[in-house]
Amino acid sequence: MRANPQRLLVTGACGFLGSEIVRQAVAGGWHVCAFGRKRGPLPAEVEFFKGDIGDPKAMTKALAGVAALIHAAGLAHVFGPEAKDTARFDAVNETGTATVMEAARTSGVPQTIVVSSVSVYGNYRGDSCNEKLPCQPQTPYAISKWKGELRALECAAKGGIAATILRFATIYGEGDRGNVARLISALRSGRFVWPGSGQNRKSLIHKEDAARACLSVLRRHVSSNDIYNVSAPPVSMREIVSAISEALGRPIPRIGIPLALFRFGGAIARTIGDPGQLEQRLHKFIHDDAYDSSKFESAFDYATEVTLAEGIRREVESLIAR
């Protein structure tokens, strides 16, 4: 089937980010096809293909006549003991990505975008992290995303397909089930205490801006393979907590715990085998987690639009409504 230049397939189309990509793509005039295990609340005009990203036949059927692919399906926001299930993460984020990309290549889809994560860099130290730094992923999730990138690039290297990999900072917004939502819940319930001074920097991006980034790539008709960080400008942890407190209509918490105690908690976690991934959570909370997205901004004339205060307000209102 000859490709329709406006025909776009989105995997994970009913998910947190995927649904926003679909919404914006439809508004932008794309003929959107959605791929997933079940149809969620998608616009009526969206063509839906039911299947698993690990099924080559289902993927090939969905990719017929497609000019562009955004691969947003993935396994994330898994907490507790299941967060250590390496095989489960690999099956979705590595093998699933390889299956999707190979089907796109054999179907003649010229342009693909793979949604990845800045978690692939691991626990780096220093200034804002850019794409030149080596990847040293630490968790099963991060390792699986990194391996998924490698599989996508291996497939693209065979020819006939261009892969743009977008490493997103923490994505938040309405419908979030990740760390920002957990922080909001902690502040709402009064269970939050300050880890240190709160001056450590964090990179976030609202889901609307993340979806716009994906569509920005499509508009340029990229024909080469490349990797980009995508994030809003870094903010301090204190700014994040302040924005959440304001949205909740509550005072900013004043009780803090010295960093030495948090580090002691990490040492205890290592001693007992870290069953609840305490050490990882402590590290992520008290250290800089800032990423340089200037390469992407320059290449695609891109800038985020949703402010931290506005994005947090929307997510808080969404969580309270639920």
Q: What pLDDT score does 160 carry?
A: 85
Q: What pLDDT score does 272 carry?
A: 40
pLDDT 10s digits, 138-197: 999 999 999 999 999 999 999 889 999 999 999 999 999 888 999 999 899 887 777 667
| Longest pairwise C-alpha distance within the chain | 63
Beta pairing partners, 32: 8
Query: How far from the centroid of its chain's Cα atoms is residue 154's Cα?
Result: 21
- The segments of the chain whose pLDDT lies below 70 read 1-4, 125-126, 195-196, 255-286
Cβ-Cβ contacts under 8 Å for 319 (sequence gap 6 or more): 181, 184, 185, 188
Query: How far from the centroid of its chain's Cα atoms is residue 255's Cα?
Result: 31
Cα dihedral 149, 204, 292, 239, rounded to 10, equals -160
Other C-beta atoms within 10 Å of 96: how many? 25
Cα dihedral 233, 237, 243, 249, rounded to 10, equals 170
Q: Is the dihedral of CA 227, 231, 236, 240 positive or negative?
A: negative
- 15, amino acid identity: G
Indicate whether this model's pTM tops 0.85: yes
CA distance 223 to 241: 41
Q: What pLDDT score does 103 carry?
A: 96
Beta pairing partners, 113: 70, 164
Q: What pLDDT score does 114 carry?
A: 98
Q: What pLDDT score does 264 carry?
A: 45
Q: What pLDDT score does 119 carry?
A: 94
H or E stretch covering 217: helix 207-219
Q: What pLDDT score does 315 carry?
A: 96
CA distance 166 to 113: 7
Residue whose C-alpha is closest to residue 217's, from 161, 172, 163, 173: 163
Angle between helices 237-248 and 179-189 (to 10 degrees): 60
Q: Is the dihedral of CA 265, 271, 275, 277 positive or negative?
A: positive
**Domains along the chain with CATH numbers:** 4-178+203-234+290-305 (3.40.50.720)
CA distance 160 to 156: 7
Q: What pLDDT score does 221 carry?
A: 81
